[in-house]
Homo-oligomer: A and B are copies of this chain.
Amino acid sequence: MEPIGFLRTSQEKKYQLPPQPDQAQWGGVIELLQGRNYDVALRDLEGFQRIWVLWWFHKNDNWRPTTLPPRGRTGRKGTFATRSPYRPNPLGLSCLDLIAVDGLRVHVGAHDLLDQTPIFDIKPYIPRYDAFPRSKAGWHDELERQLSQSPTYRVNFSVEAALAVADREELKRHIVEVLSEDPYPHRTRRIIEYGSRYRMSCGDWRIFFQIESDRVRVEKVSLRE
């Protein structure tokens, strides 16, 4: 196994990854390696609306038998029952919109991959083999049911915090997205209790906030010291 190419995209830090692939802000370009006939192998791919991309979770080198899902409060799950990166073989599988093929460059839509992710394979998405829209999804169905019922939180910023994110739209959007859904401590959301307050980490940023019933007040946003 060796990569056929690498993804180029603006997402460089894990905190920039969307909670769901379809909520991503950026597309990307899969750049295949030169001199291997991959341009020939890409023929006829245009015309497919979506492609499967098989890739390597290159930022993970260990695995765990159980995993805490990033959303909701369903508790730890067996890793093979999740899409967690921490797998015995850290293979990623994403169904991406195919935008265009241009020589060795495959332009894709919204995705949940980091810049420089090694790509192992591209396959066409064929609904006859791949689409089972009414398939039951066990604990994941239960999670979606819970989330659709759970309260959403209103998120406010102190003046200091608002100034800190004033020219960082993307960071601000991420803070609001995560905290409005569920601001309570969680390892994979990187939220901890901190005295009587809370702290969330996003890359090198630290977000300090309080919770009062259904309100979250962001008090301070600063770089890690």
Contacts and interface: CB of A to CB of B under 8 A. Distances in A.
Given A40-B66, A41-B65, A65-B38, A131 B135 contact: yes
Nearest to A48: B138
A41 B134 CA distance: 25
Contacts of A130: 95, 130-132
A42 to B, nearest CB: 5
A77 to B, nearest CB: 4
Contacts of A20: 128-129
A89 B2 contact: yes
Interface in A25-39: 36-38
Q: How many identical subunits does the complex contain?
A: 2
A50 interface: yes
A99 interface: no
B46 A138 contact: yes
A109 interface: no
B1 A124 contact: no
Contact of A88 (B38, B66, B134): B38
Interface string A94-129: 010000000000000000000000001111111111
